[in-house]
Structure 1
Amino acid sequence: MPIEPLPLTARFMNTTTSAASLPPGTLGLPFIGETLAFLRDRNFARDRAARYGPIFKTHLLGRPTVFVCSEEGCRFVLANESKYFVVSWPPSTRKLLGSLSLALQTGGVHYQRRRILAQAFQPRALAGYIETMDAICCSFIERWLQVRSLAWYPELRQLTFDIACKLFVGMDSGSHNELGEQFELWCQGLFTLPLNFPWTRFGRARRNRDWLLQQLEEIIRKRQESDDPGDDALGLLVRSRDEDGSQLGLDELKDQVLLLLFAGHETLTSSLVSFCLLVGQHPDVRDRLLAELDRLPDDAPLTLESLQQLTYLEQVLQEVMRCIPPVGGGFRTVIQECELDGYRLPEGWGVIYQIAQLHMNPDRYPDPDRFDPDRFAPGSDNPSQTYSYAPFGGGLRECLGKEFARLEMKIVAVRVLQACDWTITPDQDLSLVVIPSPRPRDGLRVVMRDRRSAG
């Protein structure tokens, strides 16, 4: 969707002046700054924005960092990629993703690799994924209905990982073998202090990464030696050539595939569990969704066209990602000192544009804590057309797999709604753990009933 441009005003200067001061805030303790509070407190940004305003400084993961929580400020950061800002990640994330990962590449290399990977997310490719997504989803649902009582979050993690493994590297049931176990342990170290000791999460994740790369190397070498490397994401990468016409190296292929598995799994699981939580808490929304699904042809296979007709489901998913965005913000580094809203952003400092705070702006979203899918109704002043809505980031580095994620969310939502009634069990902690992506602390325990057999 196009995002309306916001003019750069005098408040957003491209160069600093001698009068510009640093943003308000505190740098916290020596070395660790406010890192522990950031990792543990879901309201870290909200509380400090209320105290200091929409732009404030802190110290995270080893360096001073500025939080940007306003719509105009986020637009400034995203519109000036490679001019004043460059993508950045915490040290633990950089080391675990790998230096050749698309997430860390910049400039022309990033652009060229992004064009290659984008082929795996074009409409024709997406249409070819539907049958696989649907089949894996339905197999999980049948098992859930047999079990009846379960913690849904870990189940959804297995579902999304199985889909990612099948569609990206051609592997069946990835979550049910050692690859899935090692991958989960690797994920746990992505946003931690980079203390490389055997007993730390980061230290364990470094070892898990080494094991994962060995397994991926075996898969990649088999594809490279095959006359037909396949049409999935790995096949595209194996056949691709860089700017001088040579094939991508083995080390880069491993880093890119590892990133694809992470991107097609972690944040997508978060959005799905948020959908199940919020719809389960709002039976009126569920009733409207079911009424819309009743208009789908009986037993007809899902298609891109039929899914596009589900306009209320689209509204619900947009509101889910507004209330609980799967990514809390984006990391950048200042590469040229500049001025934002009268504050100086020094070269070398970190910047985080804060998606969760954007989505709580009462000027764009009246009563922002209320779950209201009609905010995104057709014909309304749709906030998704502005920089006040950014669940997939924005600018040159907007999430490459956005349409893949939206497609999978719709398929899972449709099949769950058609087959399942679910009740969220009482006496559980539904507060959100937010690192690396939001999910209910107790895993969202539910009791399920097969609505197809209800008399």
Structure 2
Amino acid sequence: MAKLPGSAGVSLFGDKSLEFYRDPVSFCQQRIHKHRGRVFQSRLLNRPTVFVCSVRGMRELLGEKNHIFLKDPTDLMTNMYGDTIVTTNGEEACLLRLSLTSLFRETSLESTREYVSSVCERCLKDLSLRGQSECVYSVFKRLGTELVLGLFLNIRAEEQPDLFQEIMQLCTQHWHGLISAPVNLKVPLWSSGFSTALEARDRLMDIIKDKLENDTEGFPVTLSSLPLPDSSAAAQHLLLFISALIPKALASLLTSFTLVLSADEQVESRRRAVEDSDFLHTVLLEVQRLWPPFIGGRRIADQFQKKVTAVCLLHTDGQSHVWVDLLHALRMGGSASSWQLPLIIMTLSSGLMQQPDGGIDPFMRLIISVLRKEAGRGNSRLVLVALRAAK
């Protein structure tokens, strides 16, 4: 097997983490061009790391050999969210997936249609008639936040505004812990971002446990009834489901969709998106392929098996850390339907919403169907593109 191009450098001095996090897209693009290949080595988080930016490599790592390339148990996601479907490996992840999949089937989500419809109408109502410019990402993120808190925690913004605002602020503080230096430091009049995030997590867990113990209907009750590994699993998964992760991902996808279809030359595409739901789904998948909400993720090769693993038939030089770059891999060519996109992307979180037909996952399909009902409210291209379009 051929030797990997690039260099892992030396400890500390050869680390490229700062350059990568400043502009991960440019970092990978420059090296793909330099090495004339989509698999190369560098140093990330002061560890020799193989960067995989090809569809073939992505399918190998996240598909046929995902039992070898595992999620990092020391990752910040584990520290901030505990053992969830996003952070576990192996048999435990498979069992969690089996337990949780039933909650996200289309038939299970059908009962939430009325609530999703009311939230979408209230958040997007008369958007095209407002007299000033709107930050569409903020509008979509607010929409996503209201949806996850209402669906997963039974907290409605219009019914409990104070509690809603408190949880939204706590979720933001908690999320910032993932992008802060993992230093738990607190002194009078000042706390590190990571310390603040841990305090926010503790407060969120108190609210979640109260909902699990006292609610008599809705998602918390259904989640508690599932066969989960231990007594803390339900609370930890609720913490994940109400986190800023889902609203940010939804806002990213819908914002990219808005920007693409708002161009002058996309008049016909906008019209078809209004009239043809299948075309709308196809466009959303293609947007997700070209501008995925998550750029990639890290994996670690099993120490007992890494000697027999390969990444696109290239020798890994005994290096166990791998970065899977979704953005460049998915842009290699073809169309969204040929990649079974939700299956690939959700594999990063153990495939909670795997769709073997390669379609939009049921949660997104429900949101799309409701948002399209807003089509006739205005003629703004932004409103039309932002899925406020339908008969």
What is the TM-score when the length of structure 1 is the normalising length?
A: 0.70
User: 1:133 aligns to what?
Assistant: 116
2:86 to 103, 114, 119: 103
How far apart in 1 are the matches of 2:10 and 2:377?
Answer: 50
- Name the SS for the 2:178 alignment partner: coil
Amino acid at match of 1:93: M
1:273–1:197 distance in 2 versus 1, CA, 3 Å: farther
Contact 1:71 1:387 (8 Å CA) reproduced: no
Unmatched 5+ residue regions in structure 2?
355-359
User: 1:21 aligns to what?
Assistant: 3
Contact 1:271 1:321 (8 Å CA) reproduced: yes
Amino acid at match of 1:165: L
- Name the SS for the 2:279 alignment partner: helix
1:238 to 205, 214, 224: 224
RMSD: 3.4
- Name the SS for the 1:325 alignment partner: coil
Deviation, 1:39, is 1.3
1:276 to 231, 252, 258: 258
User: 2:172 aligns to what?
Assistant: 184
User: 2:53 aligns to what?
Assistant: 69
Contact 2:171 2:200 (8 Å CA) reproduced: no
User: 1:385 aligns to what?
Assistant: 338
User: 1:214 aligns to what?
Assistant: 203
2:296 to 314, 329, 332: 329
User: 2:351 aligns to what?
Assistant: 398
1:36 to 18, 28, 42: 18
More helix, by proportion = 2
- Name the SS for the 1:126 alignment partner: helix
User: 2:241 aligns to what?
Assistant: 260
User: 1:372 aligns to what?
Assistant: none
Contact 2:8 2:14 (8 Å CA) reproduced: no
Contact 1:271 1:326 (8 Å CA) reproduced: yes
Contact 1:268 1:405 (8 Å CA) reproduced: no
1:451–1:349 distance in 2 versus 1, CA, 3 Å: closer
Q: Could you report, residue by residue, the CA deviation over 1:203-257 in whole angstroms, capped at 9, with x for unpaired residues?
A: 424423433433333343343245x3x242x2222122346xxxx423x333211
Contact 1:27 1:34 (8 Å CA) reproduced: no
Amino acid at match of 2:119: I
Amino acid at match of 2:368: K
Identity %: 19
Deviation, 1:409, is 5.0
Figure out how many residues of one structure are paired with residues of the other and give that number: 367
1:151–1:108 distance in 2 versus 1, CA, 3 Å: same
1:415–1:343 distance in 2 versus 1, CA, 3 Å: same
Does 1:360 find its partner at 2:360? no
Q: Could you report, residue by residue, the CA deviation over 1:129-155 in whole angstroms, capped at 9, with x for unpaired residues?
A: 222111101101126344642212122
Deviation, 1:265, is 1.9
Q: Could you report, residue by residue, the CA deviation over 1:95-122 in whole angstroms, capped at 9, with x for unpaired residues?
A: 2222x22211112221222222212101
User: 2:357 aligns to what?
Assistant: none
1:254–1:346 distance in 2 versus 1, CA, 3 Å: farther
Contact 1:418 1:451 (8 Å CA) reproduced: yes
1:285 to 247, 266, 272: 266
1:125–1:213 distance in 2 versus 1, CA, 3 Å: farther
Contact 1:323 1:359 (8 Å CA) reproduced: yes
1:84–1:107 distance in 2 versus 1, CA, 3 Å: closer
How far apart in 1 are the matches of 2:341 and 2:227?
Answer: 38
Which stretch has the larger CA shift, 24-33 or 74-83? 24-33
Q: Could you report, residue by residue, the CA deviation over 1:249-272 in whole angstroms, capped at 9, with x for unpaired residues?
A: 23x333211111234322112101
User: 2:368 aligns to what?
Assistant: 410
User: 2:316 aligns to what?
Assistant: 345
1:31–1:216 distance in 2 versus 1, CA, 3 Å: farther
Deviation, 1:127, is 1.6
Q: Which runs of structure 2 are paired with 1:106-121 in the superposition (5 Å)?
A: 106-121=89-104
1:191–1:212 distance in 2 versus 1, CA, 3 Å: closer
- Name the SS for the 1:177 alignment partner: helix
- Name the SS for the 1:150 alignment partner: coil
What is the TM-score when the length of structure 2 is the normalising length?
A: 0.81
User: 1:249 aligns to what?
Assistant: 231
Contact 1:27 1:57 (8 Å CA) reproduced: no
Deviation, 1:394, is 3.8
